[in-house]
Structure 1
Amino acid sequence: MRQILIQVPRGCGQRVLELVEAHDGLNVACLSANGLDGRQDLIIVHISNRQVEALLKELESVPELHLTLLPRGVIVLRPPAAKLPEQIRNVEARSPIEIFIDGLQSVGSWKGFLGYAITAGIVVWIGLFTNTSYLLVAAMLLAPFAGPAMNVAIATARGDQPLLKQSLWRYLVALAVTILVAALLSLVLQQQIPTSLMVERSQISTVAVLLPLAAGTAGALNLAQSERNSLVSGAAVGMLVAASLAPPAGIVGMAAVIGRWDMVVNGLFLLLLQLVGINLSAALVFRAYGVSAQGARYQRGKRWVFPAVLAGTVVILLGLLSWQFADSPNFQHSSRAQRANAEIQQVVEQSDWVELVEANLRFTRPNIQGQNTLLGTIYVQRRAGINLSDADIRNRLTQDIQTRLLEQGFEVTPLMDVTVLSPPKDKS
């Protein structure tokens, strides 16, 4: 439920009461008041969220109308007292006008916005430079990417060209500031090589597109749901959106300084993938909650903008996915390393000499022309009664693993380090 305070000239209160009654208003009161414009009727209204925009549209016909919409939900109690559980159980989503207003209010001061972007750049740089994962989490909480990303989606759903341009500009500025801060820190401290966390976070999975789709859906649901109907905090949702943006932005800046342009390309690919993925899913969710080109107190939306921007988003997304799957394995390192690990386990399980203890695989980024290096460290334990030497087992197993990976079309250069372990001898 929402509370609305309505101020109209004296004598117009009855017309307002009729409109409120037609939209199932509850606990309504009409008071005589003195305002700056003279004597007025002040109507206090409590109305369900789904009726807010319809009521506001009807009230536009009342002259000299002044409205105060309280942004937080209220609990309306009325007789009989025994019906209390039924009266407060129905918690509804926000009205489209409230979703739109929330988006506009998030376009706040540039000073605070840029301050958070700079701080996020510093923290994400420290995390990547020192291989400290929890600092990346802190950077995700600080990064101001969620607001512009959600506003782009709201503008898409509304067909609002001015808001779309403004939100895209803030989004790009925030990313540019974070990238620049990370680059300056790497330049000042003379970073020469990428850290292991940079290499790990720059690798792309074949399912990378699912993260921005999930982030966009969660962000839109958080804005659309009433505060009493959400089990997830806004900070957690904002962190989910930033999780897909802050680390790649830091990697782009740091990798550019050390001349690792392959990592720069990966980072920019991820940033663009996040933007279009978040916009696609969030805009569709907002439309499902009734956000459209025209509404109460909102007339600047263009109906053609939503299908046009959505079609452009889908085209870009499909183009990125086509690029990802065509450029194998560069944009699929994370997933292909897991698949290769599964293949190695099968090779070892088929062996009569050893049993698998552990296998660790990762793509490295050495400057070797024309080579995608897959580095593997494999620990195996010889079976009882096997008389082959450790060197023979290592050489045969290495050849079997490399042959399997090449036959499966991994398009990599597999460099395997097999270590043969022996259990302690029985002293009895």
Structure 2
Amino acid sequence: MRQLIIKIPKGKKEEILDLAEDLNGINSICLEEGGNDVFVIFLPNQKVNDFLKKLDDFGKPEISLIPRGVITLYPPASDSPDQVIDVQPKSSLEIYLGGIQSVGSLKGLIGYSIAAGIIVWIGLYTSNIFLLIAAMLVAPFAGPAMNAALATSAGTKDLLRSSLKRYILAIGIGVAVSYLMSVIFPLEVLTPLMVEISQVSKVALLLPLVSGFAGAINIVQSERDSLVSGAAVGILVAASLAPPVGLIGAGIYMMDWGVIWSSVFRVVLQLFGIHLAATLVFYFYGKVKPDGVRFLQGNKIMTWLTSGFVVLAIGAMMFWQFSEPPFLRKASMNTELTELLASELQKLENIEVISKEVSFTQIKINGKATVQYDVTVLPKNKKMNEKDLKMTIIDHLKKNIRYQDDNLHEVYQIKIVED
């Protein structure tokens, strides 16, 4: 339930109370104040926007909407548990106004972007996952992401333009800070964590879709209906953006175009995926539509054009990802190749496999991406010398590992250990 305080010229008392009752209003109060009537009305969340739209027919009301959940109790007392369990999503008006209100100060956006950029770079430089998580806590990406989706859902060009500017500013600051940190503390080689983050999975689109869905659900739901804090959802959104943004700056410093382009791909894909999922939630669940908010006159054409552009952009990026292997699928190919390697090693009866690992290097040989197979084995046949055993393993792997992509240069590191 939401509490509204409404001030309106006298003469409409009965009509307004009847309107509130028709929309399931509870515990309504009317007070006199000079030449005006002041109403205190409690309405279900989903009825607030409808009530305010109809209220415009009664003149020029002054409205105070308190964006807090209210528990209303009324006779009989035995029904109290049933009266408080009906927790509804916020009204479209509150969702939209909350998004605008959360825009905040540019100074805060710039400050948090600088802090997040520094923390991300240190985390990448030291291969410290905990610092990356800390950066996700302060990275100011969730606000612009959700507001851009709200703008598309409502068809409001000004909010979309403002949100995109804040997006670009936050990302640009993150890239610049990472680059400056690399200048101050020169990088000679990419750290293992940088290499790992630079590799894209074929399921990379799922993360931004889930992030956008979760972020929008958190905004639409009433605070008493939310099982997850807003900060946790903000981390989920930033998790898909903060690390690759920091990696772009480091990649520019080292002029590593493979890292740069794979990170740019991830950032752009995350932005589009978050935007699409959040827009759908706001439009269909939150009812934030061009004609669905009381005072708002959005543009339906802008909603459909922007959404169509995002869908086409995602489709184009998916086509690029799957038509350019292994450049944009290294992370998932690691897993697939490791499974193939394990399967083939099991067929060799004269060895016991101790460990196995597949990894892509940053080096290209003959224009092909280089994949390295690291295998440690314990020989069962003590009579076979080490050199012959290594050649037997390598020959078997070369003949039998058949992957869907031939654009790979394979190298092998076989280690023989003794018990």
Task: Name the TM-score, length of structure 1 as normaliser.
Answer: 0.95
Task: Choose which of 370, 375, 400 in structure 1 pairs with 2:372.
Answer: 375
**Inter-partner Cα distance in structure 1 for 2:378 and 2:54:** 78
Q: Give the percent of matched residue pairs that are identical in Structure 1 and Structure 2.
A: 38
Task: Choose which of 336, 339, 342 in structure 1 pairs with 2:339.
Answer: 342
Answer yes or no: is the 8 Å Cα contact 2:209–2:273 preserved in 1.
Answer: yes
**Mean Cα displacement is larger for which, 63-72 or 297-306?**
297-306
Q: Tell me the equivalent position of 1:119.
A: 115
Q: Tell me the equivalent position of 2:80.
A: 84
Letter in 2 for 1:249: V
Answer yes or no: is the 8 Å Cα contact 1:336–1:410 preserved in 2.
Answer: no
Per the alignment, do residues 132 and 27 of structure 1 end up closer, same or farther by CA in structure 2, a change over 3 Å counting?
A: same
Per the TM alignment, residue 403 of structure 1 is displaced from its structure 2 partner at its CA by: 3.2
Q: Tell me the equivalent position of 2:4.
A: 4
Could you list the per-position Cα deviations for residues 203-241 of structure 1 after superposition, in whole angstroms to 9, with x for gaps in the alignment? Answer: 000000000011111011111111111111111111111
- SS in structure 1 of the partner of residue 368 of structure 2: coil
Per the TM alignment, residue 386 of structure 1 is displaced from its structure 2 partner at its CA by: 5.0
Letter in 2 for 1:307: W
How many equivalent residue pairs?
Answer: 418
1:267 and 2:263 equivalent?
yes
Q: Tell me the equivalent position of 2:206.
A: 210
**Inter-partner Cα distance in structure 2 for 1:354 and 1:197:** 32
Q: Tell me the equivalent position of 1:421.
A: 417
- SS in structure 2 of the partner of residue 182 of structure 1: helix
Letter in 1 for 2:22: A
Answer yes or no: is the 8 Å Cα contact 1:29–1:43 preserved in 2.
Answer: yes
Per the TM alignment, residue 14 of structure 1 is displaced from its structure 2 partner at its CA by: 2.7
Q: Tell me the equivalent position of 1:323.
A: 320
Per the TM alignment, residue 285 of structure 1 is displaced from its structure 2 partner at its CA by: 1.0
**Mean Cα displacement is larger for which, 104-113 or 38-47?**
38-47
- SS in structure 2 of the partner of residue 107 of structure 1: coil
**Root mean square deviation of aligned Cα:** 1.4
**Inter-partner Cα distance in structure 2 for 1:154 and 1:330:** 34
* Unmatched tracts of structure 2, length 5 or more: none
Per the alignment, do residues 399 and 392 of structure 1 end up closer, same or farther by CA in structure 2, a change over 3 Å counting?
A: same
Per the alignment, do residues 407 and 89 of structure 1 end up closer, same or farther by CA in structure 2, a change over 3 Å counting?
A: closer
Letter in 2 for 1:31: L
Give the ranges of 4+ consecutive aligned residues of structure 1 lying more than 6 Å apart after TM superposition.
none
Task: Choose which of 90, 93, 114 in structure 2 pairs with 1:94.
Answer: 90
Per the TM alignment, residue 324 of structure 1 is displaced from its structure 2 partner at its CA by: 0.3
**Inter-partner Cα distance in structure 1 for 2:404 and 2:290:** 51
Q: Tell me the equivalent position of 1:64.
A: 60
After TM superposition, the structure 1 = structure 2 runs for residues 23-422 of structure 1, keeping only pairs within 5 Å, are: 23-33=23-33, 38-289=34-285, 290-366=287-363, 368=365, 370-383=367-380, 385=381, 387-405=383-401, 408-422=404-418
Letter in 2 for 1:397: I
- SS in structure 2 of the partner of residue 304 of structure 1: helix
Per the alignment, do residues 341 and 296 of structure 1 end up closer, same or farther by CA in structure 2, a change over 3 Å counting?
A: closer
**Inter-partner Cα distance in structure 1 for 2:403 and 2:161:** 50
Could you list the per-position Cα deviations for residues 31-85 of structure 1 after superposition, in whole angstroms to 9, with x for gaps in the alignment? Answer: 123xxxx442111111101111100100011223011111111111111111111
Answer yes or no: is the 8 Å Cα contact 1:245–1:274 preserved in 2.
Answer: yes
Answer yes or no: is the 8 Å Cα contact 2:99–2:150 preserved in 1.
Answer: yes
Answer yes or no: is the 8 Å Cα contact 1:56–1:296 preserved in 2.
Answer: no
**Inter-partner Cα distance in structure 2 for 1:300 and 1:130:** 51
Per the alignment, do residues 408 and 287 of structure 1 end up closer, same or farther by CA in structure 2, a change over 3 Å counting?
A: closer
Answer yes or no: is the 8 Å Cα contact 1:125–1:182 preserved in 2.
Answer: yes
**Inter-partner Cα distance in structure 1 for 2:65 and 2:280:** 26
Task: Name the TM-score, length of structure 2 as normaliser.
Answer: 0.97
**Inter-partner Cα distance in structure 2 for 1:103 and 1:399:** 61
Per the alignment, do residues 405 and 298 of structure 1 end up closer, same or farther by CA in structure 2, a change over 3 Å counting?
A: farther
**Inter-partner Cα distance in structure 1 for 2:398 and 2:197:** 26
**Inter-partner Cα distance in structure 1 for 2:320 and 2:104:** 37
Letter in 2 for 1:326: S
**Inter-partner Cα distance in structure 2 for 1:264 and 1:386:** 49
**Inter-partner Cα distance in structure 2 for 1:105 and 1:369:** 55
Letter in 2 for 1:142: V
Letter in 2 for 1:19: L
**Inter-partner Cα distance in structure 2 for 1:230 and 1:260:** 43
Could you list the per-position Cα deviations for residues 292-326 of structure 1 after superposition, in whole angstroms to 9, with x for gaps in the alignment? Answer: 10134333300111111111111100000000000
